[in-house]
Structure 1
Amino acid sequence: MAVSYSSSLSTFSAAAAAAAFSETKPSIGPASSQAVRFPSISSARPFIVPFTSNSPVVRNQRASFVAPRAAAESPSSTTTSPTSFHGLCYVVGDNIDTDQIIPAEYLTLVPSNPAEYEKLGSYALIGLPASYEKRFIEPNETKTKYSIVIGGENFGCGSSREHAPVALGAAGVAAVVAQSYARIFFRNSVATGEVYPLESEVRVCEECRTGDVITIELGESRLINHTTGKEYKLQPIGDAGPVIEAGGIFAYARKTGMIPQSA
Structure 2
Amino acid sequence: MTQEGLIVEGPVIKVGDKIDTDIIIPARYLVYTDPAILAQHVMEPLDPEFHKKASRGVVLVAGRAFGMGSSREQAAIALKAAGVRAVLAESFARIFYRNAINNGLPVLVVPGISREVSDGDYVVVNVGTGEVIVNNGAKVLRARPITGMALEILRSGGLLEYLKRQGSPH
TM-score range, shorter chain: 0.7 to 0.9
Question: Counterpart of 2:88?
Answer: 177
Partners of 2:31 and 2:123 in 1: CA distance: 34
Equivalent pair of 2:9/2:85 in contact (CA under 8 Å): no
| Structure 1, unaligned runs of 5 or more | 1-81, 112-116
Choose from 10, 13, 16 the match for 1:93: 16
Partners of 2:61 and 2:147 in 1: CA distance: 20
User: Secondary structure of 1:181's match?
Assistant: coil
TM-score with structure 1 setting the length: 0.58
Equivalent pair of 2:101/2:153 in contact (CA under 8 Å): yes
Equivalent pair of 1:84/1:217 in contact (CA under 8 Å): yes
Q: Is 1:206 the equivalent of 2:115?
A: yes
Choose from 136, 144, 147 the match for 1:238: 147
Give the paired residue count. 165
| Structure 2, unaligned runs of 5 or more | none
Question: Counterpart of 1:118?
Answer: 36
Question: Counterpart of 1:136?
Answer: 50
Superposed CA offset, 1:55-89 (max 9, x none): xxxxxxxxxxxxxxxxxxxxxxxxxxx61112101
Partners of 2:12 and 2:77 in 1: CA distance: 18
Alignment of 1:48-87 (within 5 A): 83-87=6-10
TM-score with structure 2 setting the length: 0.88
Identity of aligned residues (%): 35
Q: What's the offset of the Cα at 1:91? A: 0.9
Partners of 1:228 and 1:106 in 2: CA distance: 40
Amino acid at match of 2:98: R
Equivalent pair of 1:89/1:146 in contact (CA under 8 Å): no
Choose from 106, 115, 122 the match for 1:196: 106
Partners of 2:161 and 2:10 in 1: CA distance: 27
Partners of 1:192 and 1:162 in 2: CA distance: 8
Q: Is 1:257 the equivalent of 2:167?
A: yes
1:215–1:181 CA distance, 2 compared to 1 (3 A): same
Q: Is 1:127 the equivalent of 2:45?
A: yes
Equivalent pair of 2:90/2:109 in contact (CA under 8 Å): yes
Partners of 2:157 and 2:8 in 1: CA distance: 16
**Structure 1 or 2: more helix by fraction:** 2
Amino acid at match of 2:73: E
Equivalent pair of 2:123/2:132 in contact (CA under 8 Å): yes
User: Runs of at least 4 residues of structure 1 off by over 6 A?
Assistant: none
